[in-house]
Structure 1
Amino acid sequence: MATTDTQPKRLPILTFCAGHMAVDWPHGAFWVLQPPIALAMGLSPSQMGLMVALTAVGATLSLLPAGMLSDHTRRRGPVFAGTFVWVVVGYGLASLAPDFWTLTLMLAIAGMGTSAWHPLATGTLTQTMAGQRARVLGIHAMGGTLAEVFAPLLTGVLLLYLDWREGLALAVIPAAVVGIIFFQARDRLTVETASAARLGDLKEMMQQWTSKTGLALVSMISIYNMAVMSVLAMATLYIVNDLGFSVFWGGVAFSAMILAGAVFQPIMGHLSDTMGRRKIFAISLFAAAPLGFAMPFIGSPWVAIGFLIVMIGAFYGVRSVVLASAVDFAGKREGTTLGLAFTLMDGVGALGAFLGGWAGDFDLAYAFALASGFAMISGTIALGSTLAFPKIQAEPAE
């Protein structure tokens, strides 16, 4: 009975959700801070897209190391607490950045703390609740999604009275508060591990992911997030600059888009647990893609916002399905696998933000049409892979 506190059922899953929300809060605030940053620094859509892309690429540097720590570290409390310190210090310094390149660098460094959280937390949850991977990933994802719902909303209110620097500085408060809670609960965040870290683990995993099945999943995951990043990088700029809404209402609209994804995630996760990951993934992308193609031709601002809410909700709604597909394929080393999945989504997906910004220099609505093109390609790969590889490890039957 002495080991009761280390059993999977005793892990504080709701605390993980709160932690996810806290570390993602500054990142969520950044989406609505984009228009005032662009205005203050005189940046074009392509420059803002480049900032988002470079920030995402830099943040990926911590993903694989954090994933390996998740797989091979028993006492994870201090590691989790360290991510909060990184986020608070990093984004606090970013709020003082004087120019484009300094701000981009500081956002990338701060993002490494946020990124490290994800494979640590998701790896821990999937290791302790292996039979409900998509569901627990969906529940965990709701914490981050809620940050991207409420952070833009509250930051939009703050921007009525403050500038972007003060808004970004205040965005670290949730991480500071929840970080204290995690530090106090650090001894309860303990998970049994199979072995110590080995270089051979990474080599074996890379051999697995460079197989035909692995490459199909890599392509599916990477192109999917290019679609997501293309939409997110230009959404608030489009709402403020093209549709003529204030930054406050831009924050409200962006929050509604992400909230739609938060609602869809556990539903899509549950459906994929029973009906098959890639089938649900493809259906969701195919259903939403026509909306992006229509965006350049929409004349009504309200219809345009409605389309974006549905489109981003559908894209975001299958995020937990994507992560569960990666874990199903790997079959083990959940933290390292999810670190790789996040690297693909945030690193390769960053190209979508850059290309979305490039398209936005011509017309910001073109970024959404481009995203739909990426979504169609990713969904096609998913469907094609179900024919070539009907069953992937522990994946539910297609």
Structure 2
Amino acid sequence: MSRPEPSAEDAGQTVKPNLLAAFSLGHGANDLVPIGMFLLIPGFGTAMGLSPTEIGLLFMIHSLGGAMAYLPAGILVDHVANRGILLAATFFWVGTGYLLASFTDSFWAFAILIAVANTGDSAWHPLATGVLVQMHKTRRAYALGMHAIGGHVSEIIVLPLCGLFLAMWDWRLAIQVLVIPTFLVGCYFLVIRHKVPRHITSRPTRGDAAAIWRTWANRAGLRVIAILIFYNMGLFAIITMTPLFLKLNHNFGWIETAMAMAFMMLFGAVAQPWTGKISDNIGRRPLIIGGNAIAAGAALTAWASTSIALTLMALGVALTVQVAIRAVLLASAVDHAGGREGTSLGLAFAFMDGIAASAALLAGWVGRNDLANAFLLASGFSLLAVILAATTPKTAPSVAEKLTV
């Protein structure tokens, strides 16, 4: 297995801990309301009397809005010098968009505003992760896992808060409170923007576009994309329908639903740097296959179970492994591309959260009679990811670094 050339970090120029902490903090602050949407969209939907399919459509529109920003932001991180100011701008974009959404009563106005707001959060991800993997060329998955901790800490904090706000007040006030930390951290990033390493300014060229096309428009590249999509479709089907399943099928309150969701994501969040570090040492393939296989089996168990305790445990296992291997899958996309880290991550995020967003609508549709059917759908998506990863030729040059054991 070929290894990347030693980076500045390995030569002794380590990344400052305060910068790593700032990126993790920024990730968490930017993700507060988008993560809260896993409960706030169902909260909006139940308040408006929407069906599971309509709620699934809202999830899909929200994710599609975000997907539109991933690739442009990824290209920017590879070509723009002052990435610090771009990172700072994302907080104000996110906060303003969601704040405006909190004042509407219209389905489509709400859908459009949350989609626009999510583009700001989506822009953060390839910008921040692109900078990090450029700093940590030999520890990409580890760096991505450390960045991911901020987002998953937000999950653990914001989901119970959303449950509390929905129980005490409503979805409007929940959004209005949650945007406050986003604006505050945005001000902090304006102060520290000069600490973000600058990049040599360049213009995207036709040659860049041709290189991207050659990298991805082949059997190996399309296989990587398909694995990313099916992995995230399995995750989306579970994470978008579980709150409705617990509330409608088992009469959970908002606080109980929120606590269950936060607990189920906790262990995967903690495991991301660990799984990333393992994959940096032994390869991406074993973790991608193993994680998706476990998720497929757990989701199938959740669908078949008649015990709420067993269902919760199965969903917890599925979400834990799916969250835990996310950084591994992102690193696999960078490994496949070899260079243009920001663009590669932008593409990976776009496919994962763009095309895969349709899983929310599909999960709502198959769950229109029984929401547990969404878990059977999730199991099928994860199984497809397993099959694609397991049948990837180990000796394929363009994926050798990504999937070699």
Which range, TM-score by smaller chain?
over 0.9
Residue of structure 1 in register with 2:5 after alignment = none
List gaps (5 residues or longer) in structure 1: none
Among 176, 182, 185, the alignment partner of 1:175 is 182
C-alpha distance in 1, partners of 2:205/2:48? Answer: 46
Counterpart pick for 2:15 among 9, 18, 24: 9
Kept in 2, the 8 Å contact 1:35–1:247? The answer is no
Contact 2:285 2:402 in 1 (8 A): no
Counterpart mapping for 1:104-115 below 5 A: 104-115=111-122
* TM-score (structure 1 length as normaliser): 0.95
- Name the residue aligned to 2:46: 39
**Structure 2 CA distance, aligned partners of 1:300 and 1:397?**
40
Partner of 1:144: 151
Measured after TM superposition, the shift of residue 99 of structure 1 is 1.7
1:215-241 deviation line (CA, Å, top 9, x unaligned): 110111111111111111101111111
The one-letter amino acid of 1:34's match is I
**Partners of 1:20 and 1:117 within 8 A in 2:** yes
Q: Quick one: which amino acid aligns to residue 251 of structure 1?
A: A
What's 1:321 paired with? 328
Contact 2:303–2:311 (CA under 8 A) maintained in structure 1: no
Match of 1:207 in 2: 214
- Counterpart among 311, 315, 336 of residue 308 in structure 1: 315
What residue is the counterpart of 1:78 in the other structure? 85
Please show how residues 1-398 of structure 1 align to structure 2 within 5 Å: 9-10=15-16, 12-193=19-200, 195-387=202-394, 389=396, 392=399, 394-395=401-402, 397-398=404-405
Instruction: Output the TM-score relative to the length of structure 2.
Output: 0.93
Distance 1:371 1:223 in 2: 9
Q: What's the secondary structure of 1:342's corresponding residue?
A: helix
Superposed CA offset, 1:61-86 (max 9, x none) = 11111111111112111101110110
Name the aligned partner's letter for residue 73 of structure 1: V
Superposition deviation, residue 97 in structure 1: 1.9
The amino acid of 1:85's aligned partner reads F
After superposition, the Cα gap between the structure-2 partners of 1:289 and 1:390, relative to the gap in structure 1 and judged at 3 Å, is farther
How far off is 1:306 after superposition? 1.5
Q: Which amino acid aligns with 2:223?
A: A
Cα gap change, 1:194/1:279 in structure 2, threshold over 3 Å: closer, same or farther? farther
Q: Distance in 1 between matches of 2:404 and 2:105?
A: 53
Distance 1:62 1:296 in 2: 34
Please give the per-residue CA displacement for 1:82-122, whole angstroms capped at 9, x wherever unaligned: 10110110010111121211111111000000000000000
Distance 1:283 1:386 in 2: 17
Q: Deviations over 1:184-224 (max 9, x none)?
A: 01111123337443242123112210111101101111111
Task: Quote the Cα distance in structure 1 between the aligned partners of 2:188 and 2:310.
Answer: 43
Q: 2:23, 2:128 within 8 Å by CA — same for their partners in 1?
A: yes
Distance in 1 separating the partners of 2:52 and 2:149? 29
Q: Output the CA distance in 2 between the equivalents of 1:381 and 1:284.
A: 13
Contact 1:145-1:259 within 8 A present in 2 as well: yes
Give the superposition deviation at 1:49: 0.7
Q: Which one-letter code corresponds to 1:95 in the other structure?
A: S
User: 8 Å contact 2:41–2:59 — kept in the other structure?
Assistant: no
> 1:295 and 1:394 mapped to 2: Cα distance?
35
Q: What count of residue pairs does the alignment treat as equivalent?
A: 393
| 3-state secondary structure, aligned to 1:363 | coil
The residue identity in structure 2 corresponding to 1:242 is: N
After TM superposition, give the deviation of residue 257 of structure 1 in Å: 1.6
Whether the 8 Å CA contact 1:34–1:48 is kept in 2: the answer is yes
Letter in 2 for 1:377: L
SS at match of 1:291: helix
